[in-house]
Structure 1
Amino acid sequence: MMLWAVTYGLQIAGATEGTKLFWANANHIAVAAVPIAWIGFALQFTGRDHLLTPRTVGTLSVIPSVYLVLVWTNPRHELIRQSFGVQSVHDGSLLLIDQAFGPAFWIHAVYGYALMATGAVLFAQLFVWAPKVYRRQVGMLLLGAVIPMAANLAFHTNLYTPSNFDLTPFSFVATGVLFFVAIYQYQLLDLVPIARESVVDTLTEGIIVVDKRNQIVDINNAAATILEVDGDAVLGTSVHQVLPDVVTDEELSEDKSSVSNEVTCKIDETPRTLAVTKTPLVDVNENPIGRTLTLRDVTETRALEAEVSAQLDEVMAVNRELETFTTAISHDLRQPARTTERYIDRVRRSETDLSTENDEILAVAQTNAERMQSMLSDLLAYSRIERNEDQFEPISLTAVVDQATTSLRFSIEETDTTVSVGELPTVSGIEHQLVRLFQNLISNAIRYSGPEPPVISIDATATETEHVLTVTDEGVGIDPDELEYVFELFTRGQHAEPVPGTGAGLALCKKIVEQHGGSIGIESTLGEGTTVIVRLPKRE
């Protein structure tokens, strides 16, 4: 366009016929190039880059090339123009070539107009179908092309005087302004519509576009691969032939919303499960014109889910068996333990003159029976802790700690324990399990307090995602090498002083915390005390 405008300006400025004809010939270089440049730009911008190949450009350039040869050899044949000298207009202030265009010029003119019109149609189509973010810039481009086309058409049809004065180069000013606005105001070079090949054909999900008659009008590579068909071969065929029982005729006329479901079909005689999303397509008047079908092959996913579900059922069945077994063992063993305790008590009452050795034997038997009772009770309690989020509700930990200390009132009074409680949050959980958690933590702190009266502090802090609770005592502490084992069932750490216990308390605490989606840790120093850290997630 710049070449067109500059050469025409030099043509007007020329003082002789020879000078004007030279610049007129140079002007026709731009006349031949602009339509090809325009159609190339239109193909690129509207996402048809695959059509803009060297071969395409070469083919489109054949007629313009022949035309330019004829332009520069015109004196020999006058197929481009016949010159009748220089004409003076406006009282001699403007000298113009007096000419008549020949048949070769008009053939090229028709060709050039066809290319320009094709580009304009591509932009008009994009203007109708493009999202709103592109419409203003596309409208600017379309208007910028139409203005010089109209000016050039008016020049060649003698719609104004002087008829041999071409206004086309001057119309480029309007085109430049419009393109400037499109570039800097509406981000022409930043918001370029992405080619279909760059998105649709690179999607891992299959895309099929069907019209109102359920005929396939477009299909991407992923869909062709999923359905094991030739994408080009199925264009124009019914979607029912490729994907039976997916789209019904009633859906296109009645359902105007997206619908997702799963269908089972045979592809190459192999059963497949496809997740299908059907989305309506409408025109600018909101009239239905078809649908897009989004396909995902979920056969392997569903098979894996079924396998996981079967394994989960097996695990749940084993868990139920273990729970039944644990309950049965607990009940069955507790009765012999009670019987043993009764026999020991009866022996002590009936035999008043026991030897020292026999008395020690009975004392050991009594201790073992009591320990067995405690272990069985703890085992039964451990097996009954279950995760059930349906039972979760807002629980005030202040009230929970109050219940726990109330249940341990006699132990606290007998040991002269001091329990200080800071400000505690409300959490989501199961109340009786949280009460059991703090009962165990407090009773552990009392049990391992050493000779001094126990001092226990319970505090809480918070992060963005969780509540951090601490239960700290000043007791005997635990050997650091044993800390990693203290949460195992019936495992006890090595303490500075021997104390009674089954080693199940912290295991119960860990299971309760994990059932609430949290974590538990412990820090301890021999002879100085222990801090148990409980982290519970924040929930709505």
Structure 2
Amino acid sequence: MTVTEISTKPRASTPRIGMRLWLTGAFGIVSLITAVAVYLFGDNPQALVAAVMIGVLAGFLIAVAISHRVVRLARAAGEMAGGSFDAPLAVSGPDEIGDLARALDSMRASLKESFGVLTADRNKLAAIFDGLTDSVIVVDYEGPVRFSNAAAARLLEAGTKPPQVILPQLQRASEVGFSAHPALRIGDRAYALTARALPDERAVLAVLRDRTDELRRELAEADFISNAAHELRNPLAGISGAIEVLQSGAKNTPHDRDHFLNRLAEDAERMKQLTQSLLTLARVESSGAAEREVVDVPLAIRDVVTAVEPPPHVALEVEVERDLAATGDPTLLRQVMIGLLTNAFKNTPPPGTVTVRGRHDGEAEVILEVVDTGTGIPAAEIERVFERFYRRSESRKQEGFGLGLAIARRMVDVMGGEIGADSVLGEGSTFWVRLPVAQPSPTPVA
């Protein structure tokens, strides 16, 4: 940025009286008044004193006028030194004081412009830093925090001190110039830290990126792969064992042959179902938002209850409001409701009842519920039932892989809805789906 050069050279077209000449003239006037007084009133002491007093008074008034202008300039210079550049200087006189006033006022205008640019740049940088999701901290070698952005505010202890856990990394950066750590635990979050020394500033710049969700995803993916491998290993072990037994001679006995062939068929079917579930989960996990359209809820529920046969001695009831319409994907909603209904049948011992309900929930949402009179779910496990491969200890003997509710949750997500469960242990469970209500189409204007 270039600061405008301030010129103090007098303009050729402006007549001016030099300050020294002005003062000399003023002194001459006082001397002349005194000399005239002595000449005229030398024989009259009182008149002489009065004339001399007039001369002194004239000199005093001239000195006050000059002092007043100098004081105004000094006050203006003090205000500029304090950072105030708004009030323009009152410029008067063609002498050196006037030149100085004009120079100061020109400098004031230039400084005001320069400080305005600097302030705008500073505010822009502050907005950029505060907009970062990463935490940025500048720490002096002596310890105090010199700068922090908005994201770093929650990490600072007492608002001024960096977290204790990062101090060794900052110390190392100040000594060797650079330091990094992939995952530092601060409270209940995990941060990747990069620190770099700023030798000229005698400070360390530290950037902390929140990796908590990323690490959770990595852990969930590792857990998913482990669980999938375990679920595949069981039927594979059964198939391998049945083949070995058949090869050892069991194939020659009709009863044994049929038994192990049935086991082979069951394990192969289990692998097929697991593979289909994994493919379905992968498909919905990788998909974006589903195409939204109006879903006729009573029609969709009627289709679902005809597709799933309740077990013996378990009654199926339907309570759906008429003319109920939601926004979603009919195919995905059908799969979700079939999954919830099948899950309710599995967990409702006879005699029992499973009820499917559909109603408005306020003006903006439609809620669909599958209510059973089964064993219920402990409060601590309600959220976990939507995790991939999670199965309650009571249901481990039942068929399934613990993927159905995880798939249902993702399907509801892509429809822009919400899924959850409420349960009382020993009394039953309610699984619910919320979807946006379908807005009526505007009536065309004739």
Common fold by TM > 0.5: no
* TM-score in terms of structure 1 length: 0.36
Structure possessing the higher relative contact order (Cα contacts under 8 Å, 6 or more residues apart): 2
* TM-score in terms of structure 2 length: 0.42
